[in-house]
Amino acid sequence: MSGVHIARGSRGGIDTECRVREVAKVLEVPEAAPTILRMMGWDPPTIPLLAAIGVVLAGVYCAGLLRLRRLGRAWPWYRSLSFLSGCLILSAVTGLAIERYGVGLFSAFMFQHMTLSTLVPPLLVMGSPGLLMFAAVPDHGRGRRVRRATLRLARSRVSRIALHPGFAIPVFLFSFYGLYFSSIFDALNASWIGHTGMELFFLVSGLLFIIPILSIGPLPMRQSNLGRLLDIFLEMPLHVFFGVVFMMAPTVLVASFADPPPSWGINPVDDQAVAGALAWSYGEPVALLIVLIFASRWRRDEEKSATSPTDYHAAKEADDLEAYNTFLRTLGSGR
């Protein structure tokens, strides 16, 4: 890799020269001007933590699929495609050259942010990894203990708090307003741990927001369909407004991106506007697709409720392990 650019300047008492020097120990900033092809090229960071997580998740999921095949049980192909696509995108957006350019290029980092928080989480959740685990793990011995422990965790007080809209939505919005409009971003971006930790936080905050909306596995609480729809429409305009602020700002708002390498030929204010446009537009198609999927499920729920309200509500309220095992045994009816 070519040389490292050291940015100068400060914001809130934080020296950006120190920031770049420390991050560059692991994420070396390229000297070549950024292009889409270069950012999508093969140039992984020295410690590709999130990329490795994506590979591990895909491997575990494929192991579950192989076990189901040995058991003669069917599994919807679209769930596999969704989850493995999420793993692939997670690994690509944090493991290719864009990870290095994201240290000094706001638009590249914002693309990573939006991908990690709005695209990858729905793909992972729609893959139903929890249901796959329950279907693949045996219903005896250690497998039964794993199931019980998983259900206890899924229905624990910690999960109830973390997945509650009153917690998940503010955390999701903090990843935009709380980080970029304060000195927190520059402080975290002063080290590889902070830089990578922010990326991990984007992924986790997106999961906390989307799991209650799209998950069909066991949850500590179930919102009404109307409540989940309101959550979706509450979040959408807020991240749009966030993007507009950066698009219209006449000066650089985040010191970490105020001084890109001269060899890039990048105007930081113009690049900031591109980052704002990404924040404004990236999530809209994803949100529309989520709304369509959610609306389809809502319609099916209404049809089931109208056909057999007693059975429907009994199934909705079932929260013990045996009820879940009964459901899983129906997956093996094709054995």
Render the burial of 102-117: b for 16+ CB within 10 Å, e for the rest. Answer: bbbbbbbbbbbbbbbb
Q: Taking the alpha carbons of 125, 130, 131, 136 in that order, is the dihedral positive or negative?
A: positive
Confidence of residue 333 (pLDDT cuts 50, 70, 90): very low
Separation CA 264–CA 31 (nearest Å): 7
CA-to-CA distance for 18 and 21, rounded, in angstroms? 5
Q: Which tokens belong to 319?
A: 């929260």
Nearest to 301 by CA among 312, 317, 291: 312
Whether the predicted pLDDT of 59 surpasses 90: yes
Is the pLDDT at 10 greater than 80? The verdict is: no
Asked if residue 135 lies in contact with residue 331, where contact means CB atoms within 8 angstroms, the answer is: yes
137 and 70 in contact (C-beta within 8 Å)?
Answer: no
Q: What is the pLDDT of residues 108-122, one digit of tens each?
A: 999 999 999 999 999
Cα separations (Å) of 138 from 72, 118, 148? Answer: 14, 34, 12
Bridge-partner residues for 43, per DSSP?
A: none
Write out the H or E segment, with its range, that includes residue 14.
Answer: strand 14-15
The answer to whether 201 and 32 are in contact (CB under 8 A) is no
Which residue type occupies 76?
A: P
DSSP 10: E
Strand partners, 11: 14
Nearest-CA neighbor of 137 among 307, 328, 330, 334?
328
pLDDT given for residue 307 in this prediction: 59
Q: Tell me how far apart the alpha carbons of residues 241 and 86 are, in angstroms, rounded to a whole number.
A: 27
DSSP string, 25-46: TTSPPPSSPP-HHHHTSS---S
- Please, is 140 exposed, middle or buried when counting C-beta atoms within 10 Å of its C-beta (0-12, 13-18, 19+)? exposed
Task: Output the six-digit token pair for 167.
Answer: 């917690």
Between CA 156 and CA 149 the distance in angstroms is 10
Quote the pLDDT of residue 112: 97
pLDDT at 328: 52
Residue that has been written with the tokens 């809502």 in this structure: 298
Per-residue pLDDT averaged across 287-313, rounded?
71
**169-172 contacts, C-beta under 8 A, 24 or more apart:** 169/209, 169/231, 169/234, 169/235, 171/205, 171/208, 171/209, 172/117, 172/205, 172/206, 172/208, 172/209, 172/235
As a whole number of Å, the end-to-end CA separation of the chain is 54
pLDDT tens-digit profile of 183-239? 999 999 878 899 999 999 999 999 999 998 888 877 777 777 777 878 777 777 777
pLDDT of residue 329: 53
Neighbour tally for 97: CB within 10 Å: 21
Evaluate if residue 153 carries a pLDDT over 80.
yes
Give the pLDDT score at 202.
Answer: 97
pLDDT of residue 107: 96
* Confidence tier at 319 by pLDDT (50, 70, 90): very low
Pair of tokens at residue 258: 């105020």
**Domain range annotation of the chain:** 10-334
Pick the more confident residue, 171 or 334.
171
